Each structure stands twice: as C-alpha cells, then as structure tokens.
Structure 1
Amino acid sequence: MDEQKEIKVVIGADNYNNNPGWIHTQEEELNLLDKTTWENQFTKGSITAILAEHVWEHLTYQEGTEAAKLCYQYLKSQGYIRCAVPDGYFLDEAYQNIVKIGGPGPKDHPAASHKIVYNYKTLSSIFETAGFEVNFLEYCDEKGRFHCSDWQEEDGVIFRSKKCDPRNQGDNLTFPSLIIDATKR
C-alpha cells in the first residue's frame, strides 16, 4: 500500500525553525484569510498538521473564525491545528501589558499589533464553530491557575510554552501561552 507523505505546515514561521521537516511559511506565502494562497500550494484535505504560534491574536475574532474554517478545508480527516496565543487569564500585569490589544507588537511590523487577547473559552469557541474538536494543552483558568497536559513536541513545538521556553522552567511561569490542539472531526 502506497503511504502518502505527511504534510505539516507552520503558519507565520518568522525565522524560527523549531519544527524541522515542516513547511515553514510567511503571511505573503500562505495567508490565513486568502484562500488563493492555499489553493496555490495545497489540495483540500491534504494537510496532516498546522502549527500557528502567536499568530491568531493578530486577527479579529471574526477573522480568526474564518481562518479556522479555511484551515479545516485543507486538513485531512483527524488532521489538527496546534495553536498557541497569549493567555488572557495569566495573572501578570507586565505580561498582560505586552499582549494587550494594540500592544507593542513586532517592532519591524507595527501594523501587526494584537487585535484580541484570548482566554481558553474564546479560543476554543473559534475552532469549535469551524467544526473542530478542541483539546487544551496549556492554559490558565479564570482564577489564573495554570493547567498543563502532557503533549508531544514531535506533534509541533511551541517555543513559548511551559514545556519548551527556558523562561518558564521549574516553578517560574513568566511567559506562558494558551495552547490547544484543534482536531478535524
């Protein structure tokens, strides 16, 4: 039986290469809101995994929902998006000042400031609306308590995580992310 090659895509990879063997893309190549950029590179139902680390917060809630729906079309059955965003329930004033709406954003791309600050409820809502089943990997609840599931780096490395970021080792949580796996049903 001929096995198809797995297609794994990193959205908004910047200059990071935390996921060797994955296709690393920039917004100009693969735009979450432009179906033509998807049609030019992939066939619907062909992608095994999509990773988006600190990308979705640069979209409005409506744009985030539309992006999730577009990704859904290109994922295989049981394919997934591993999505990480700043966590709106992390109780640290300095962190919240950095991640706030309209906050600093990248110095070399000021138009890319944050348009939304998610919590686990709002982020899961976007992906559930698009048809995904959501599994929480790392997140803070309404009281700021941090929750973490065991997740595998080979399924997509999220650098800004409890698991991988040296700033977050031991009992020190400095820059966490809200991380989910959203699986196509």
Structure 2
Amino acid sequence: MTSPLKVILGAGSQAWAGWLPTQREQLDLTNRASFEDYFGDRRADAFLCEHVWEHLTLEQGRAAALLCFDFLKPGGFLRCAVPDANFPDEEYQRIVQIGGPGPADHPAADHQIVYDAPLFKDVFEQVGFEVELLEYCDEQGRFHYHGWDVATGPIYRSLMLDHRNRDGKLGNVSIIVDARKPE
C-alpha cells in the first residue's frame, strides 16, 4: 500500500511531516501542464495551500480551484488559507491590501485580491467542491472557529498555530477552508 500523496502548493519555507513541499516552478496554479507533468496519472489525496490564492486574480483563483479539483482523488481535500478582508485590525489590513506596502520585493506587493469568507468559499463551490469554513471573520469582524484537526493539514497562520495568537488575543488570522472533492 502506498502512503497518501499530500502536496503543499506554494510551500515557500514551509515543511510539514508527510507533506511534499512544492514551489511554483514545480506546480503552477495557473498552468495545467505543470500539474499534468507533475502528477501524470496519479492524483493527490490532499493539497495544502497557505497564503497563495491572494496572489492570483479572482479569475485565476477560480481556474486554480478547478485545477486542484481535477488533480484530487474523489474524497480528497484542499485546505486553503488566505488573508481575511473582515479582520478588524488596521495594520493587518494595510499589510494584506492589494499591492501591499513597502518595496516591490515585499510578499504582499503582488496581492491581487483580499477575500471575504463568502467569496472565498464560492471560488471552490463553483467548481464542485463541498466547502467548510474552518476559520474566518464575518462582516461585523467577529472571528469564527470551527474545530479542525491541525494534524490533517497544518496552517501556520491559524488560531492554534500562529505565535501572534496568544493569551486570548487575535494577532493574525486567515480565512481557512476545507474544500472536499465528493466521492
């Protein structure tokens, strides 16, 4: 029996046990051929993608969702996180805004969109995923957390893992979704 194929999309410096880290050069969310070359006839059991989708336009994000759907096994999932447009912190919003602050090499410099939870959920539902919101802020800025198991796919910028979320204070949040491909 082979072990599950679990792939981090746009891993950057992230490395999690049991997950294969990939960069854009290996798996480009805007290029179907890169997925065909990487996977061949195989399909992933799970994808993990943290703070990458905001670097795509909305149209590219929808196409990337379809690409992930196509390269997942039935019953597989994509756990995906992006900055949250409804997190009520001015400095956070300044940092994650479209175009981002500071020099051109700042990670947020090429942000194309800042999602709210309904729009982000819709990106995945429109291509056939069943989507569960795990963490997000609503339109009033209230944070919502739906218990999820970090062991099934860690997201650093989350309530449980981010070092800025301590002692009852939220210092950094993400919209986190589980997008599951139906069996």
Shorter-normalised TM range: over 0.9
Percent sequence identity over aligned pairs: 49
| Matched residues, number | 182
**Cα deviations by residue, 1:22-51 (Å, 9 ceiling, x for unpaired):** 110001111011111111111456111000
* 1:10 counterpart = 2:8: yes
Match of 1:42 among 39, 44, 48: 39
* TM-score normalised per structure 2: 0.93
Q: Gapped runs of 5+ residues in structure 2?
A: none
User: Against the structure 1 CA distance between its residues 37 and 105, is the aligned structure 2 distance closer, same or farther, given a 3 Å change threshold?
Assistant: farther
* TM-score normalised by structure 1 residue count: 0.93
- The Cα offsets for residues 79-109 of structure 1, whole Å up to 9 and x where unpaired, read as 0100000000101111000000111388646
Determine the structure 1 residue equivalent to 2:150.
Answer: 153
* 1:175 is aligned to 2:172: yes
Residues 21 and 182 from structure 1, CA distance in 2 versus in 1: closer, same or farther, beyond 3 angstroms?
same
Instruction: Determine the structure 1 residue equivalent to 2:131.
Output: 134
Dislocated runs of 4+, deviation >2 Å: 104-112
Q: Which runs of 5+ in 1 are unaligned?
A: none
CA contact (8 A) 2:96 2:108 kept: no
Aligned: 1:59 with 2:50:
no
**2:94 matched to 1:113?**
no
Q: How far off its partner does 1:111 sit?
A: 8.7
The CA RMSD measured in Å over matched residues stands at 1.8
Aligned partner (choices 95, 100, 104) of residue 98 of structure 1: 95
CA contact (8 A) 2:103 2:109 kept: yes
Determine if contact 2:9/2:47 at 8 Å carries over to the other structure: yes
Distance 2:175 2:82 in 1: 5
